Amino acid sequence: MVTTPVIKNCSYCLVHVPDLVQYGSKPRREIIENPSSKESIAHSLRSYNKACCYPPNQTFVGNLSPDELGNIPRPWFENEALCSAKGKFGEILDQKSFYGLLKLADVLNPPLFAVDDTVLARLREGLAAHPLLAGFASRLAAIPQDVHDHSRQDPSRSSALAMRSEGKSCGWFYGDERAEGKGDDNLGPYTLLENLCTKASGALALTWLLHREKINPEKIDFLISCGEEACGDRYQRGGGGMAKAIGEMCGCTNASGMDIKNFCAAPASAIITAAAMVKAGLYKRVAVIGGGSLAKLGMKFQSFLEHGIPILDDCLASTALLISEDDGASPIIRLEPGAVGTVPAGAGFSDEAVFRHYLLAPLESLGLKCTDIDRYAAELHNPEIMEFAGSGDVASKNYRKIAAMAVLAKQLEKSGMNAWIERVGMPGFAPTQGHIPSAVPYIGHAMEAMNRGEIKRVMFLARASLFLNRCTNLLDGVSFVLERNPRL
């Protein structure tokens, strides 16, 4: 019997990593150009408590709704609302606990993340004190002490990255220094730290998903990773394997997996793929995981320094979603022919062409109008981060375009655009982590609102800057409609 796929559960996590901001792509390049900027960055980092109290972060982990966030006056970094590290959908993890996960994510020998026994004990204590991560702490205890072997260079004279937290040294992060890794830029410390940050933050989100769903990891049949990293060596950069790496770390022993790449739209593409797998009967439970992006930490730091405000892009963000068979309660993903929005290669470059394909066409296939959708989730980047950098409110720009398309399709009066946007839109609340803000942060809030009977139908629209690959000038759009379960 053909089932209707549903989003059964979700998790959203942030990891506050102030000492890793310097290793984001933009800060790292600026520090090379101007070494004094490292000190400027250090002086502009905010505390863990401040990151927890930041209203957009509270919205991301589910303690505030997007509408509640919209009612909080800006600047949000000066108007704290709630200050809970624990969220309805996940948590805001501190740096020390994350370093524990990072250490556990490292499977190489000699290790990439080399720590001495004092630091290892400290990392273990951090995880042991965490109610959900205590299992990881016991596995960390099984790791032998990492004594620098004699073949290894003095870390301060090699390309190894200094790992610090709370003003203390936490060891060094190396590249793959074995014979097979030497001289391979893809296996240097920066790239491998980026990959392991995706793995560790993805594992955090998956752990929360399993906890929220109250199932054992062995129950997951298949894993799809949709992160922005590109794992692999010189012969196959971007080869993948992140999904199974995360699954292995979390004990998903019965699950195979694969990685899906589509720039920022990868989570939407992964959800649609997972739903199709479930509908086809291949798997019962597919977990979609998006780990965080180290490269995008501090992406807008210069603007924050110029304005004398704290660096707000200081968190890795991750999400995990469980796609499964219809349970009669969870929201359904519409997968009828034509229901999923895509942008064909021949669609053209204009926004109008793109929106016609991934907004209007799927709605028409479903016999719906733009006005039949209760909420739209587009690019939900935190405007406070974007506006200081001069990039404007990305969420708002996309809502203007959606409304303009509804007017062009004669489904909305031009005079009613602003009121309609107010009704179907929402402020962005996700940190600039590329794929994570792209539509999917609203899934948790949508599930809650559907469960309460407040909304019936949400359209998720994700965009991908394919042109960044330098192989095409195209961009992509991917969309799907989520509906309140008719049996609820």
Partner 1 sequence: MLTGKKVIVFGERDDISGTTVSTCLKAAGAEIVYEATACFV
Nearer to partner 1, 279 or 397 (CB): 397
Residue 192: what are its φ and ψ, rounded to 5°?
-70, -30
Residues 6+ apart with CB under 8 A from 396: 383, 425
Nearer to partner 1, 341 or 434 (CB): 434
Q: What are the beta bridge partners of residue 316?
A: 15
Nearer to partner 1, 149 or 306 (CB): 306
Nearer to partner 1, 137 or 268 (CB): 268
CB of 397 to partner 1, least distance (A): 5
Output DSSP code: residue 486: T
Asked if residues 442 and 455 have their Cβ atoms less than 8 Å apart, the reply is: no
CB of 408 to partner 1, least distance (A): 15
Distance CA 323, CA 166 (A): 39
Residues 6+ apart with CB under 8 A from 453: 484
Residues 6+ apart with CB under 8 A from 410: none
Distance CA 111, CA 121 (A): 16
Residue 450 identity: M
CB of 288 to partner 1, least distance (A): 20
CB of 396 to partner 1, least distance (A): 10
Distance CA 395, CA 375 (A): 13
CB of 31 to partner 1, least distance (A): 21
CB of 317 to partner 1, least distance (A): 13
Q: What are the beta bridge partners of residue 321?
A: 10, 288
Give me the residues that bind partner 1 (CB under 8 A), please.
Answer: 264, 349-351, 379, 381, 386, 389, 391-392, 394, 397-398, 432, 434, 437, 463, 465, 467-468, 473, 475
CB of 380 to partner 1, least distance (A): 10
Output DSSP code: residue 360: I
Nearer to partner 1, 271 or 386 (CB): 386
Task: Give the pair of three-digit tokens for residue 364.
Answer: 């028409």
Nearer to partner 1, 229 or 379 (CB): 379
CB of 379 to partner 1, least distance (A): 6
CB of 301 to partner 1, least distance (A): 14
Nearer to partner 1, 209 or 386 (CB): 386
Nearer to partner 1, 171 or 428 (CB): 428
Distance CA 100, CA 450 (A): 37
Asked if residues 172 and 162 have their Cβ atoms less than 8 Å apart, the reply is: yes
Task: Give the pair of three-digit tokens for residue 64.
Answer: 């505030």
CB of 318 to partner 1, least distance (A): 17
Alpha helices by DSSP H, 131-241: 134-141, 189-213
Strands 6-16 and 315-324: antiparallel
Nearer to partner 1, 285 or 463 (CB): 463
Distance CA 426, CA 399 (A): 9
Secondary element (H or E) of residue 250? helix 242-250
Nearer to partner 1, 391 or 485 (CB): 391
In sign, the C-alpha dihedral spanning 356, 358, 362, 363 is negative
